[in-house]
Amino acid sequence: MKTSSVLGTLSPREFLSTYWQKKPLLIRQAIPDFRPPVDRDALFALAARDDVESRLITNFRQQWKMKHGPVDSLPSLSRKNWTLLVQGVNLHDDQADELLNRFRFIPDARLDDLMISYATDTGGVGPHFDSYDVFLLQAHGQRRWRIGPQKDLSLLEDLPLKILRNFTPAEEFVLNPGDMLYLPPQYAHEGVAAGECITYSIGFRAPSWQELGEAFLHFMAENVSLSGRYSDPDLGVATRPARIADDMLAKVSEQFARLASQREDIEIFLGEHLSEPKPSVWFDTPARPATLARFEAAMERRGLRLHRKSRMLYRGKFVFINGESFQPSASDRKLLEALADQRRLPAGQIGSASADLRQSLHQWYRDGWVVTG
């Protein structure tokens, strides 16, 4: 795996133990001579597409307004106080996706996406907090960040975006291109553009227990398989016939407790859930897909890559890709784990793939999940 650090002199281990989910960190020249892969015009072009999530936020005449994309007409570049936010840029640009490799000391299961913002002078999205960990990497121009650990996270009402009612910043930094600020979840912050400004936000998701619980129960509804049925050979005489007896409640509770503690179910659920692409993600399928034989020849010559939109994870005997789970043989599993970790398989490694795996890979190729080369 190609990983170059973004943490300056800190090791990933030091960063995780001292800062991750705990406190902010400013890293000057996290990426020295940073050459941003997506410039202003490329960002504007992305924002105009209907398969890309974007928002235009303006604060003209002291009034916050937000418009969801596709954004095909922008305010004048000479007008102050507006911001364009483009979500999931890593899904649409290989080099943007590659930038995320630098952050893979954090597991893929935690990664959300790369969001890029463009702002004119004094533009921003107001003082707020996020529920996610975020690395704010300055890409172009300057941004002044004010941040604070406040506990009061109450928001102003009736606004189209989340703005803190009482923002009390404790620190202030001006970031130049290549500088990066890490913020843990719930840390209050406001970034204001100092001239034309582009900021990259690398966000990490942390699902709420409610969201995970609902998704798990949905998964279980479709996958549950329980044998046997309720029985009570030891039934006593009912004196209050309408009452649900303690014994009945205990038997049912015991079954349900067993249901929710099947580790393998949780494993499969978690892998499928975390590898599920966002609802807005569509894969491009090859217009004239190669036959299995031609596909095999191509992958043995050039190797195989995960498409940048693919999410692939593994655990135990299971491999997960884009919301589906597989239980391959031990030797195929090794190959798939390598594909998931490196996001590619060199040509030389493909030879040992079984016929079954080749079939699956061919299907994934037809679905646009993997590409040769």
Kindly list the residues in this chain that would bind Co ion in the complex (CB under 5 A). Answer: 130
Cα–Cα–Cα angle for 133, 118, 96, nearest 5°?
60
* Burial group, residue 216, by CB count within 10 angstroms (0-12, 13-18, 19+): middle
- The residues in 193-252 that bind ligand SIN, with binding defined as CB under 6 A, are 199, 201
Q: Which residue is nearest to ligand SIN (CB)?
A: 117
117 makes contact with ligand SIN (CB under 6 A): yes
Stretch that binds ligand SIN, among 13-21, 69-77, 122-130, 244-252 (CB under 6 A): 122-130
Q: At what angle do helices 355-366 and 292-302 cross, to 10 degrees?
A: 100
Give the Cα separation of 97 and 113 in Å (integer). 9
By beta-carbon proximity to Co ion, the closer residue of 130 and 267 is 130
Question: Which is it for the CA torsion 295, 298, 304, 309, positive or negative?
Answer: negative
Rule CB under 6 A: choose which of 24, 37, 127, 191 binds ligand SIN: 191
Q: Which does 191 bind (CB under 5 to 8 A by kind): ligand SIN, Co ion, none?
A: ligand SIN
130 makes contact with ligand SIN (CB under 6 A): yes
56 makes contact with ligand SIN (CB under 6 A): no
125 makes contact with ligand SIN (CB under 6 A): yes
**Min CB(183)–ligand SIN separation in Å:** 8
Rule CB under 6 A: choose which of 59, 81, 83, 87 binds ligand SIN: 83
**149 Ramachandran zone, left/alpha/beta (phi>0; psi -120 to 50):** alpha
The answer to whether the beta carbons of residues 290 and 366 sit under 8 Å apart is no
The answer to whether the beta carbons of residues 224 and 259 sit under 8 Å apart is yes
Helix (H, G, I), strand (E, B) or coil at 322: coil
337 makes contact with ligand SIN (CB under 6 A): no
Given the rule CB under 6 A, which residues bind ligand SIN? 83, 117, 124-125, 130, 134, 189, 191, 199, 201
